[in-house]
Structure 1
Amino acid sequence: MSDAPSYGFDTLQIHAGARPDPATGARQTPIYQTTAYVFRDAEHAAALFNLQEVGFIYSRLTNPTVAVLQERIATLEGGVGAVCCSSGHAAQIMALFPLMGPGKNVVASTRLYGGTVTQFSQTIKRFGWSAKFVDFDDLDAVRDAIDDDTRAVFGEAIANPGGYITDLRAIADIADAAGLPLIVDNTSATPYLCRPIEHGATLVVHSTTKYLTGNGTVTGGCIVDSGKFDWSASDKFSSLSQPEPAYHGLKFHETFGPLAFTFHGIAVGLRDLGMTMNPQAAHYTLMGIETLSLRMERHVENAVKIAKWLEADPRVDYVTYAGLESSPYHHRVAQVCPKGAGALFTFAVKGGYDACVKLVDALEIFSHVANLGDTRSLIIHSASTTHRQLTPEQQEAAGAAPNVVRLSIGIENAEDLIADLDQALAKATA
């Protein structure tokens, strides 16, 4: 099927990248559970290894099932290509890998998933990289944080855990002025609610574990390449603009043009980092994406009802959902996420830390798990779990204070979810 621009999102989420299996005619994308692929002859093998021909070599690099998923996500995001990998965290490292080097830094939002804050503030130091955390609502602070060693700007479209919406265009303009790529984590929004490339993002990363798969079965990650960044405009991105010794001096940007980052992600990133997505995980994610728009509509519908109910409840101090008119981010919904503000937000419980713990333990329908984006409604007390490794100041900045719980609203009956929250709040604040 041709992925023509005239096709709508609902059609593309089912058909993009997928074609009947040439050997059997199978309509659903098969799970190609194989390690290696037979070459036609020695010349064919050499051409593949020299990047002179596109094809399948070894499943650490390329796999037909994963290739369909890559094409589908790239199509939905409006990118030219994508690289799938083993997790959202792997996607973040792979996105930075061609850009960074010892002594280089990334300017990152303070409003990020706690695991990302830890990865950027601690783990990447082992590579000689560093991160500068800045409030992305303070545009002057973002500009001031960029220096000669900055190689990327990183933020989330809808920030986890608070559901804050980033002014992507404003941040993209700052990155453009500095000659830097903007990397946007679009996990919480998905391309159904937000397409960051249309707002100036260079790269989009996903934890496909979450809404894209939608059923809590497999982990995965993806990096989508917009194809719009000029990697040769300066000497900052030598991995993409300068000769690559492992490929006899091939220059990725000169050779592959808009697909330079995508090819580098496979030919170097997956080859050497080995953060491979397995074909069964790709299969589950493909099946999940087929119902993405339907699920996201219900997620958002339920989130609006529940956020409004919580905001009116005297046992609740505040709700951070951007879909509420009271939210300072409400004005960004129409611009950044016109189909809704997502289904991830936090609320503060009167009674603080202890009340939050009691609330979590008293819920019956909501599952207490370290995940989001499931069809099931989920809850977690971030300060004692996903964000517990952060300082109190970092927790506050990330929207994960001790008196706050995070909700990921599922697609169950909204009235049942409200009743569950009601009885749990009664026990937590008695």
Structure 2
Amino acid sequence: MSDETPVSQAASPGFATLAVHAGAKPDPTTHARATPIYQTTSFVFDDVDHAASLFGLQAFGNIYTRLTNPTTAVLEERVAALEGGTAAVATASGHSAQHLVFHTLLTPGDEFVASRKLYGGSINQFNHAYKNYGWNVVWADPDDLSTFERAITPKTKAIFVESIANPGGVVVDIAAISAIARKAGIPLIVDNTMATPYLWQPIKDGADIVVHSATKFLGGHGNSMGGIVVDAGSFDWSATDRYPMLSKPRPEYQGMVLHETFGNFAFAIAVRALGLRDIGPAISPFNSFMLLTGIETLNLRMQRHSDNALAVARFLSVHPKVEWVSYPGLESDPYHALAQKYLPKGAGAVFTFGLKGGYEAGVKLVSNVHLFSHLANIGDTRSLIIHPASTTHRQLTDEQKTIAGAGPQVVRLSVGIEDQADIIADLEQALAQL
């Protein structure tokens, strides 16, 4: 009798099945059913020829945990399967995943276009850290798609957006922006952290590269850091000479042309072999194990997150001390039509609302909650709250805060999976004290 029960007789397993099984099988030595934590720095070669083939990208296998690890490989294969990509690379954090993507695409003096509705840390990374490499961001407005077209120049190498913008809950028209990118001959990069592949698979709508802060909803329990880069396998890197790391001979690999050799997963190979290898933001095997465990319940958690968030948003939308609520699941929200198109199962866990008392009311509210945890994270099973203007977006100017959806009156919630009545009761008592 086989140790492995067939995952499915169907040609294409469902999402919940993939979330539990993709990439995994019983350990061949111990027959352990859960993916083991391969807590090792390096791996023994069969012989010198085997070592040479691994180092030369002529064979797949494990050399050193900075590059590959069996625990991490399961995580990569699972997320690639859930997103509908050809391959994935796991990294130490979401920021490092973005860094490796742009390192693969850009050279000094190059530009990329980014939605101005982004997580504050990404805005800071793009505006400041990337300038040290000579990489220049040009901002565009997701509410006016013509700004993306006008921002593209001969120096532009990519477009970057979030599927659901953090913290404002802006739903971005991925298909329309993909058409703009296709016309310009550049890849579309989508940060899908807020939606996760359970709510939205941007590759189906034209994304060429998907990134995640796996620290958030993929892991889901606020206990492990990680990032993921997913290669859609959809972009022709050899169509022009704009992406030499993929289309030109690589001297460190005896003149190998990565796109010619690896085809529709060449970008993932480049991220690993040219970026992760040299820059080194490797995820630990233990964190890969924890993230894998979280992903097994992703569909269950994301549905509960979304259902709870909608109930909380409806409560706040009629509260006398709340001026507005920005949640695309609400029928009155300007992004509701896009949410219906792209997010039919729910609009996610994170949204913002504005307090009539402004900045001081926001600071007081986050000090008065009990069930909610006041901290700088999203995607936890627990309900989380923060006042972005005084914390995550503090480094931005007032104008940048407002543009990013983090103005002085704004409070961000990441609604957890607790009972709806308890979540609402905590907000109700905190609002009563304003």
Q: What interval of TM-score do these two structures reach, taking the shorter chain for normalisation?
A: over 0.9
For residues 287-314 of structure 1, the C-alpha deviation after alignment (integer angstroms, 9 at most, x for no partner) is: 0000000001110110010000100111
Aligned to 1:156: 162
Q: Matched residues in 2 for 1:113 and 1:312: separation? A: 27
Aligned letter for 1:57? I
State the Cα distance separating 1:334 from its structure 2 match: 2.1
The alignment status of 1:262 with 2:268, answered yes or no, reads yes
What SS does the corresponding residue of 1:98 show, helix, strand or coil?
A: helix
| Contact 2:7-2:17 at 8 Å conserved across structures | no
Structure 1 unpaired stretches of 5+: none
Q: Give me the whole-angstrom Cα distance separating, in 1, the residues matched to 2:339 and 2:171.
A: 7
The aligned residue for residue 382 of structure 1 is: 388
Deviations 1:181-212 (A, max 9, x none): 00000000000000000010000000000000
Q: In structure 1, what is the equivalent of residue 331 of structure 2? A: 325
| Aligned 1:179-258 pairs, distance under 5 A | 179-258=185-264
Per-residue Cα deviation, 1:397-426 (whole angstroms, up to 9, x for no partner)? 110000000000000011111111011011
Counterpart pick for 1:97 among 93, 97, 103 = 103
Deviation per CA, 1:50-77: give whole Å up to 9, x if none.
1100000011000000000000000000
Distance 1:417 1:344 in 2: 14
8 Å contact kept, 2:237–2:247: yes
Please name the residue that 1:54 is paired with: 60
CA contact (8 A) 2:163 2:174 kept: yes
Q: What letter matches 1:331 in structure 2?
A: A
CA distance in 2, matches of 1:268, 1:299: 37
How many aligned positions are there?
428
% identical equivalent positions: 57
Match of 1:131 in 2: 137
Give 2:165's aligned amino acid. Answer: A
Pairs within 5 Å for 1:6-405: 6-405=12-411
| Cα distance between partner residues in 2 of 1:152 and 1:97 | 12
Residue 265 of structure 1 and its aligned partner are, at CA, apart by: 1.3
Match in the other structure for 1:415: 421
Distance 1:356 1:266 in 2: 42
Q: Distance in 2 between matches of 1:77 and 1:339?
A: 16
Q: Distance in 1 between matches of 2:55 and 2:278?
A: 14
Structural RMSD (CA): 0.9
Mapped to 1, the partners of 2:303 and 2:320 lie a distance apart of 28
Q: What's the secondary structure of 2:344's corresponding residue?
A: coil
Residue type of the partner of 1:204? V
**What displacement does 1:15 show?**
0.1
- Shift in CA distance, 260/2, structure 1 to aligned 2, threshold 3 Å: farther
Q: Runs in 1 of length 4+ with deviation above 3 angstroms?
A: 1-5
Shift in Å at residue 2 of structure 1? 6.8
Q: Give the residue type in structure 1 aligned to 2:79.
A: I
How big is each residue's C-alpha offset from its partner over 1:125-151, in whole Å with a ceiling of 9 and x where there is no partner? 000101011111211111000000011
d(CA) in 2 for partners of 1:340, 1:71? 25
| Whole-Å separation in 2 of the counterparts to 1:175 and 1:7 | 31
Code of the residue aligned with 2:246 in structure 1: it is: L
Distance 1:97 1:326 in 2: 41
Shift in Å, 1:14: 0.1
Which digits, 9 at most, give the CA deviation of each residue in 1:99-132, with x for residues without a partner?
0010001100010000000000110000010101
